[in-house]
Amino acid sequence: MTSTPPQALVDELEALGPRGRRRAAASAANMFAADVSAAAPVGDPVPVVLDAEDWSQLSAGLVQRMRLLDALYADLYGPRTVLATDVAPVAQLLQDPAYLRTAVGMPTRGNHHLFALTCTVARTADGSWVVLEDAVDVPDGGGTTLELRRVLSRCAPTLYRSTPLRRLHPFFDTVRTSLHQRTRADGRAGRTVVLTEDSSDPLRAFDHSWLANLLGAPVVSVGDLRTGSGTLTLRLPGLDSDPGDAVDALLRLVPSPLVDPLDLGPTPLGGVTGLVEAARCGDVEIFNPLGAGLLENPHLRSALPDLCRQLLHEDLQLRPAGPDTEPATWLGLDPSGGDDLIERPVRLRLLVMGTEDGYEVLPGGIGVTADDSPEALKDVWVTVPETAAVPGVGDTDRTLEHGASASGLADVSGPTELSRATSPGVLTAYPAMTRSIGSDLFWFGRYLERVDSTARLLRTVLDTVNDLDAERSASAGTAQAVLLGAVTEVTTTYPGFPALDLRSRETVRREIESLLTDRHRPGSLAQSYSALAHTTRTLRDLISDDIWPVIARMSQHLRTLGGQDSPPPSPPQEQGLTEIVDGCLTLSGAVADSMPRNLGWDLTEVGRKIERTMSLLALLKSVLGRRRSRAAEARIAGAVALITESGASYRRSYHAAVQPELLLELLLADTSLPRSIAFQLDRLGLALDRLPEVTPSPELRAPLIALRTRIGGWEPQELLHPLDGETSDGAPTAFLEEADAAMDTLRELATAVENRFFRPSESTSRWGIDDV
């Protein structure tokens, strides 16, 4: 059977032409890959279109299937009457490791046990629908469905304007409201969190974060939760003695056997000790309930038609697919690159979720081609009858589906005063700040500064080395060696340039290329950017969609630095580094414009100011810690002024050529210069003062006071005076020891912040070189 799309859509596809369709597919794949941090999928802008009649039939079958699975779960983890009949595959069920006996008898607050189901279906050649697979224990697809709609609608907007179709966001609004009503207790709004694992599959991690965003619940890891006296609480940033915030519901997006090592056995994930007991006591409800994976048993799936008649007294509408099932085909792009559209078999992944009235099916989904060619992702449309009003097409819904998932980094700090009125019966639930979220925000700030400072340093050094390379003077050679050595010292990529023969251009070129592109080299630009991108994606449920195009462009420019994905000749490395710096500026602006000034902002600011101060001290120590000839120092100081963007301020303050002593004085003491040390310490002190504390923390205040006292006592003339009166080239100064001591104090402060507000296991990030 071949499905015919609406004529208006066919006309728009013809208007786009082969070139426009391929361009839309390529743009969608690149945008999707940048958002998800995965290999670019094959995207097909030609949607799978279901009319109202087809959807009514399919959605009714899906809701019935969910009702049946819910009834089965209630029986298998309750009275177990089906095990006493000849219908159920008793032996296979009892032997299934997914049958968790510890979950028997757990209470539920709502009218149903199951919360979500992902069902993979296909249409047969005769027009009927069959089920290929059920995902009950860890359902997914909701976030990916919305992302696919958002990306394809941006890359092929004329297609989406051609056909009235049902929107997706009203579905999530309904589910979120239902979740709110189900978890509220004692006249207060219940708190729901989404438990995820550190998945090696970036698409799965992305999908879970998006779903949490849509449901308005924070993403947590097992380390963010603790149990005690039958209750489940969030670990808040601060001391372990803090009682934490009570959790009323846990949306579980990790396999059931991994959640509690006490009752379910040790697992690689670690789990939350005592979670099963808390659920058994009824103090926390788990969605989907523990042990739901039993419903995915293949023997059970084949018995569903008989079980449906036994439990629901109805005939099963969606039957299992048989071995000889011939799937229907749908119009799509030719995978071989031809200009004509062709028919391809497609399977659909559709999501069913619980509401106050029962169950509802997301009016859309993910279409995946199912032939011998590479898989292609297709959007699933559900059209609206011509006589009906288009539901959910308000400005808010259209805006959200087309890109604005959030207004920025969300308010995750705690209660605030709300002036807007709320709907009757709606209780305000304040967002939560977990330790892992706080740690991610802190490291987001650090990695952003690290990428920015590394890119600025490499760009200026490349420019300066290019200028000096043509000279044969001793001062030019000295300045070149000092600046290249500074790259190694600031990035800590030892042995680096000091161990190389700098007279060999090829050797220098290879080292620079390694610093630009080697993602496995701690301290390199590529590795620091990978850490920034990963940390940004862990905050996906908090960050505005406007950030992802910036991340995509930065990734592309980073690839071109090593000549990858770029036709020869590659663009100059200096140009690529300028694009990276511009991307960091854009990210900084996006965060500053959208992030509420709360605990999350303060932790990000602390991370940024610590990292910028550390980088600046390392740079100044490496280039000014030893005396050189005046000619060489003039060249070196000029490069430092470019890196720190202090040239204009220097010229306004001192009517003289750039001199090391005067430049150091400016960078140490000018509180109006955004890249000076004085400016960083002032802002760092303000951010630390705003951090929540029951009593002042000396471990936070003492290092900052010591740092300010030490740096405030520095006199540039004395700092840069050679020790013991040495006059030879490269003579050490007091600044070497003083800068090391200041950086040690800064590391002490960074460690104190992490120990005070994050759990110790997160004090070292596995995603980047940790210099604290």
- The identity of residue 323, as a single letter, is P
Per residue in 195-208, pLDDT (tens digit) is 988 766 778 888 88
Can you tell me the mean pLDDT for 106-113?
85
Q: How confident is the model at residue 401 (pLDDT cuts 50, 70, 90)?
A: very low
- The identity of residue 767, as a single letter, is W
C-alpha 528 chain-centroid distance:
16
- The pLDDT value recorded for residue 406 is 37
Per residue in 321-349, pLDDT (tens digit) is 987 778 889 999 999 989 999 999 999 99
Q: How confident is the model at residue 432 (pLDDT cuts 50, 70, 90)?
A: low
- The pLDDT value recorded for residue 760 is 44
> What is the C-alpha separation between 589 and 25, in angstroms, rounded?
30
User: To 10 degrees, the CA torsion angle through 274, 276, 278, 283?
Assistant: 160
Q: How confident is the model at residue 22 (pLDDT cuts 50, 70, 90)?
A: very high
- The pLDDT value recorded for residue 230 is 74
Per residue in 672-718, pLDDT (tens digit) is 999 999 999 999 999 998 887 656 678 888 999 999 999 999 999 99
> What is the C-alpha separation between 712 and 99, in angstroms, rounded?
66
- The pLDDT value recorded for residue 391 is 45
> What is the C-alpha separation between 375 and 368, in angstroms, rounded?
6
Q: Average pLDDT of the chain? A: 84
> Does residue 292 surpass a pLDDT of 90?
yes
Can you tell me the mean pLDDT for 13-42?
82
Can you tell me the mean pLDDT for 524-531?
93
Per residue in 470-506, pLDDT (tens digit) is 677 888 889 989 999 999 999 999 999 999 998 888 8
Tokens 């969910």: give the residue. Answer: 66
Most confident segment among 10-24, 256-270, 394-408, 753-767: 10-24
3-state secondary structure of 58: helix
Are 662 and 656 within 8 A, CB to CB? yes
Where is average pLDDT lowest: 27-41, 58-72, 124-138? 27-41
Q: How confident is the model at residue 127 (pLDDT cuts 50, 70, 90)?
A: confident
3-state secondary structure of 428: coil
> Does residue 624 surpass a pLDDT of 50?
yes
- The pLDDT value recorded for residue 243 is 61
> Does residue 644 surpass a pLDDT of 90?
yes
**Tokens coding 626:** 């030893």
Q: How many CA atoms are closer than 13 Å to the CA of 91, on its beta-carbon side? A: 0
> Does residue 643 surpass a pLDDT of 80?
yes
- The pLDDT value recorded for residue 244 is 64
The whole-model pTM stands at 0.74
- The pLDDT value recorded for residue 35 is 65
> Does residue 33 surpass a pLDDT of 80?
no
Can you tell me the mean pLDDT for 520-530?
94
Q: How many CA atoms are closer than 13 Å to the CA of 619, on its beta-carbon side? A: 30
> Does residue 389 surpass a pLDDT of 70?
no
- The pLDDT value recorded for residue 183 is 80
- The pLDDT value recorded for residue 404 is 39
- The pLDDT value recorded for residue 40 is 66
- The pLDDT value recorded for residue 541 is 63
Per residue in 211-251, pLDDT (tens digit) is 888 888 888 888 888 888 778 888 877 655 456 678 889 99
3-state secondary structure of 625: coil
C-alpha 742 chain-centroid distance:
34
Specify which residues 733 forms β-bridges with: 722
- The pLDDT value recorded for residue 34 is 67
Can you tell me the mean pLDDT for 92-117?
91
Nearest to 614 by CA among 490, 435, 431: 490
3-state secondary structure of 252: strand
206 phi and psi angles, rounded to 5 deg? -60, -45
> What is the C-alpha separation between 721 and 735, in angstroms, rounded?
9
To the nearest whole percent, how much of the chain has pLDDT over 90?
Answer: 51
Cβ count within 10 A of residue 651: 13
Nearest to 704 by CA among 718, 730, 686: 686
Give the CA distances from residue 505 to residues 454, 466, 488, 743, in Å, rounded to whole numbers and listed in that order: 21, 11, 17, 33
Q: How confident is the model at residue 185 (pLDDT cuts 50, 70, 90)?
A: low
Per residue in 367-381, pLDDT (tens digit) is 999 999 999 999 999
Can you tell me the mean pLDDT for 35-49?
80
Give the single-character DSSP code of 402: T
Are 218 and 196 within 8 A, CB to CB? no
